[in-house]
Amino acid sequence: MSAWKSGQQNVTEDVTSEEYESWISNYCTLFGHDYFVEVSQDFIEDDFNLTGLSSGISHYREALDLILDFEPEPPISTADLPLIEHSAEELYGLIHARFILTKEGLNAMAVKYENGHFGSCSRVNCDSMLLLPIGRYDQAGVETVRLFCPCCCDIYFPSSSRYLNIDGAYFGTTFPGLFINTFKEVERQAAARHQKESFQLKIFGFKLSELSKSGPRMKWLRQFPTTPEEIEEYNKCEYSVATPQDVGKLKGSKEKRAEEKDKDKKDVVDEDVKSTDSKVKADDDDVTMKSPDGSIMSVK
């Protein structure tokens, strides 16, 4: 009998452990939370990773305990529970924005990217390039999440309205750029699509002029380096910091251009002075006199 009770207790404990779901797992599986990855508990428990978050979150300690599934002391009242849950969601989102910049977070987001969880670009020339979530601001409560295309380098609204309640700060402004530079395959896929020419409107087979009101605008935004010289210059200046020699050269070139500009202005002024002097001299040479009968005579 005791053996049967012991076995039944073990089965009950196994079922309970299988049915248990952490707050993080439950939050990431909610409707419209497909963009989120599960942040590891070790990352959250490291105080260094949460630096600066406590000042902007109300009920910070209770929200953090809720995320980590700790029993709050004292227990949370029923009236404060909705507010603490909201604070926990905001806190987790800001932690999530930091986590996806780590190696573990980037790999987790890469799995979602490869599976197409973020959707694909609707632009024809991008050829269904997969998108990345991005926030235009790092402060919560400013704007909802947008999707960035590595090919056309533009941002779009999510295809479904269920993602429009997700704050853009939960992904931040840094993630897409870091993701693309970490996984070079994404950059190569985008470069392969850059070979296509941008669409240009035509009337009876003739391309519209850029000077037309309905003509193409800001085509340089779609242009990418193609020649070896352009690629070398792009790679050199993309993330490089200017050296003192570069600053000196730039300063010298600016001074030289300023001197040339001043010289051109001086030449123009000298020419104007010369023309004025010659005109005055010509006027001095012509002396007008009035004759007794009233007629005007010009004497040189």
Highest mean pLDDT among 2-6, 80-84, 162-166, 196-200: 162-166
The pLDDT score that the predictor gives to residue 198 is 72
Other CB atoms within a 10 A radius of the CB of residue 226 amount to 10
CATH number for the domain whose boundaries are 116-196+222-238? 2.20.25.20
Kindly report, residue by residue over 10-19, the tens digit of the pLDDT.
Answer: 544 444 445 6
d(CA 18, CA 36): 23
Kindly report, residue by residue over 273-287, the tens digit of the pLDDT.
Answer: 566 666 555 555 554
Higher pLDDT among residues 251 and 92, named by residue: 92
The pLDDT score that the predictor gives to residue 249 is 61
55: pLDDT strictly greater than 80: yes
Phi, psi of 141 (to 5 degrees): 85, 10
Q: How confident is the model at residue 1 (pLDDT cuts 50, 70, 90)?
A: very low
The pLDDT score that the predictor gives to residue 293 is 57
pTM of the model: 0.66
The two tokens of residue 90 are 């905001």
User: Average of pLDDT values for 209-234?
Assistant: 69
Q: How confident is the model at residue 140 (pLDDT cuts 50, 70, 90)?
A: very high
Average pLDDT over the chain reads 79
Ramachandran area for residue 279 (φ above 0: left; ψ -120 to 50: alpha; else beta)? alpha
User: Looking at domain 12-99, does it have CATH number 3.40.50.720?
Assistant: no
d(CA 175, CA 297): 88
Q: Report domain extents, the chain.
A: 12-99, 116-196+222-238, 243-269
The two tokens of residue 273 are 């002075």
CB 121 within 8 A of CB 153: no
The pLDDT score that the predictor gives to residue 95 is 96
Query: Token pair 């809720």 is at which residue?
Result: 66
